[in-house]
Amino acid sequence: MKVTMISVMMPAAENIRGTSALPYHLLAGRDKSIEVILYSYNLNRLSKEQIDSVAKELNIKIYILPVPWWYVFFLRFFSPFRILLNYPIANYINLSSLQLDTIINDNPDAIWIYGEELSRVSRQLKDFRRVHTLPDCESLYYYRMLGRCFAIRNKKRFWSSVFMYPKYLNMEKQFDISSNIHYHLVGEEDVNFLREICPGIQAHFFRHPHYQLACPAKLISFSSKIKLLIAGQYNLYMQQDVDELISCLCRTTSKKELLAHYSITFLGKGWEHHVERLNNAGYETHHIKFAPNYIEEICKYDIQITPICIGTGTKGKVLDAIANGLLVIGSWYALENIAVEHKASCMQYNNIEEIVDILNNIYKKKSIYEAMAERGRESILNKHNNSIVAEKIFSLFQNRSVING
Per-residue model confidence (pLDDT) at position 274: 96
Comparing CA positions, the residue from 194, 308, 143 lying closest to residue 319 is 308
Query: Residue 77 and residue 173: Cα distance in Å, rounded?
Result: 29
Q: What is the CA radius of gyration of the chain?
A: 22
Query: Residue 138 and residue 164: Cα distance in Å, rounded?
Result: 9
| Confidence (pTM) | 0.93
Per-residue model confidence (pLDDT) at position 401: 56
CA angle 93, 94, 96 (to 5 degrees): 135
Report the range of poorest mean pLDDT among 33-42, 64-73, 152-161: 152-161
Query: Residue 168 and residue 139: Cα distance in Å, rounded?
Result: 5
Greatest mean pLDDT among 14-18, 81-85, 92-96: 92-96
Query: Residue 295 and residue 127: Cα distance in Å, rounded?
Result: 43
Query: Residue 376 and residue 357: Cα distance in Å, rounded?
Result: 21
The full set of domains in the chain, from first to last, is: 2-209+386-397 (3.40.50), 226-383 (3.40.50.2000)
Contacts of 155 (CB under 8 A, 6+ apart): none
Query: Residue 253 and residue 87: Cα distance in Å, rounded?
Result: 52
Type of residue numbered 153: R
Sign of the torsion angle spanned by Cα atoms 329, 332, 338, 344: positive
Query: Residue 69 and residue 121: Cα distance in Å, rounded?
Result: 17
Burial of 210 (C-beta count, 10 Å sphere; 0-12/13-18/19+): buried
pLDDT tens for each residue of 147-185: 887 777 778 888 888 999 999 999 999 999 999 999 999
pLDDT tens for each residue of 93-137: 999 999 999 999 999 999 999 999 999 999 999 999 999 999 999
pLDDT tens for each residue of 243-278: 999 999 999 988 999 999 999 999 999 999 999 999
